[in-house]
Amino acid sequence: MDTYIVLTLQPRERKSIVAAAMLDELQEHVEFIDMENDFHTIGGLVPLFEHLKNSSAGIRAKAAKVMTVLRKGMYEI
């Protein structure tokens, strides 16, 4: 998405777009780097859980997808 388009959006819409992009990038990291077990240790689950409560269904879905990828490599949280 063009920077200009993102900047003309309302703050809430901008925040959702940024959160969606961050969750996409996070999913790539946890899929391709063996960091699933360290994710909890570094405090990554708390912000991820917050995204699961987001008002945007798209953000909740992306956060759930990241959780699914993480869960594949975790034995207990």
- Sketch the domain layout of the chain as residue ranges: 1-42, 43-76
CB distance 27 to 65 below 8 Å: yes
pTM of the model: 0.56
Average pLDDT of the residues of the chain: 75
CB distance 68 to 27 below 8 Å: no
Tokens of 4: 């200009």
pLDDT per position as a tens digit, 4-35: 444 555 666 767 888 888 888 888 777 655 56
3-state secondary structure 15-57: HHHHHHHHHHHHHHHHHHCCCHHHHHHCCCHHHHHHHHCCCCH
